[in-house]
Structure 1
């Protein structure tokens, strides 16, 4: 949803509401598209899990699921579920396949459930759920109905992050991308990689 609560700024924000109707957490989108920049949206500046009665949840808004670092931070902070609300549908079949492949990978590489959906609009609607092994639990192209899925947080495997080597990953934060080059998904033109 569009969020204008901070004076002079607007954000793409997702919220988590508990069964009583209370807002228990929110996330402002940290990695925004070229269109969002051009239309005056600001970037969020934090990646925090939301603790709920069913477990810790991370919110990767729309295109943020494409950034493995965001999902990894959520997993390192204890998220058991990553929600991926999508502000649009998919614009073509190859994008749908790419998106679901990425969601499956985020689930598997972080040992979490990844659940996502778009709203009904003129694009291809989408709803999905992947288990911590990357297996598809639900994949629906009918976003105009209620879809339920049962997950078992006890099935989360052994914590796999003990084999990580963070001392080798410094290059990830030292190297800045050329922000003038964008991925084809952002500008819907030729496929240029962010280098």
Structure 2
């Protein structure tokens, strides 16, 4: 198939004693996605869990079985043990096809740990950054993941695109809107689509506003209360236009024409008025890697 229907699962995330409810909700959302003829459903960073070192529960078998039962490919978040490091974990997005077969997994690569995952009320484990950028062949197209604030690092997305990724997901963690990042976040995700001739999408865990209140040192109300749930940042973008945006709970969907991506990557720009495209095609072929040594020079602090 050349057209893929993507669904973003913007849903309530539970922590602590209620955390395993996330798994029940994820299964229900996969079933709901099947009823909407969604081919690929994506969840937020680390959803449905586990979010801590102490409260571990099995998610992989359940998510794979749900994908197989309902015939929907799934990109879900979890934390997986870091090999050779007891008590340490990768932040991971697992990609399972519609037959329930795990096709690949991306472990977050930036920033290096520690980061925000240790000794928090929501996350609590020793985070370990990984060092690989997998691109997963789904049969119908090539899929990749870049997690949360990695969207600020264009190098990650460019590597994925150069390896053939046609859809790049940016599952995010928490409080993006409450922190005031939403406008820039969506702009960055859309920019990644334009500069890499790829479809991109982002979403965030929704939660009780009390989660955000613990970080509000000024006591200023940054956003009006809304149904006891934080605001989403959901967005789906192509290189030529925005396809869908919503901050509300639910399944945000869009149809992705992969043939269009392949055309834009292969075509050369012509001065035709009006142009048959809404972005400059073929610009990836302009790259001159021999000039880019600065990008790999050791960093200075």
What is the TM-score normalised by the length of structure 1?
0.83
Match of 1:136 in 2: 242
Counterparts of 1:91-110 in structure 2 under 5 Å?
A: 91-92=177-178, 94-110=180-196
Counterpart Cα distance in 2 of 1:47 and 1:152: 24
Counterpart Cα distance in 1 of 2:254 and 2:159: 25
Match of 1:164 in 2: 287
Counterpart Cα distance in 2 of 1:37 and 1:105: 31
Q: Which of 110, 120, 131 is matched with 1:31 structurally?
A: 110
CA contact (8 A) 1:2 1:11 kept: yes
Counterparts of 1:24-173 in structure 2 under 5 Å?
A: 24-32=103-111, 34-36=115-117, 40-92=126-178, 94-121=180-207, 122=209, 123-133=230-240, 135-142=241-248, 144-156=249-261, 157-158=264-265, 159-173=282-296
Match of 1:182 in 2: none
Counterpart Cα distance in 2 of 1:163 and 1:91: 36
1:177 shift after superposition: 4.2
1:5 shift after superposition: 5.5
1:164 shift after superposition: 0.7
Off by >4 Å, runs of 4+ in structure 1: none
CA contact (8 A) 1:56 1:80 kept: yes
What is the TM-score normalised by the length of structure 2?
0.55
1:21 shift after superposition: 2.1
| SS of residue paired to 2:253 | coil
Counterpart Cα distance in 2 of 1:54 and 1:124: 32
| SS of residue paired to 1:19 | coil
| SS of residue paired to 1:146 | strand
Unaligned runs of 5+ in 1: 179-195
| Count of aligned pairs between the two proteins | 176
Deviations along 1:79-118, whole A, 9 cap, x unmatched? 1010111122414374000100000110000000001211
Using CA pairs under 8 Å that are at least 6 residues apart, name the structure with larger relative contact order, 1 or 2: 2
Structure 1 residues 141 and 177: alpha-carbon distance in aligned structure 2, compared to 1, 3 A threshold? farther
CA contact (8 A) 2:177 2:233 kept: no
- Work out which of the two has the higher radius of gyration on C-alpha atoms and give 1 or 2: 2
CA contact (8 A) 2:79 2:89 kept: yes
Match of 2:67 in 1: none
Counterpart Cα distance in 2 of 1:54 and 1:119: 28
1:171 shift after superposition: 0.7
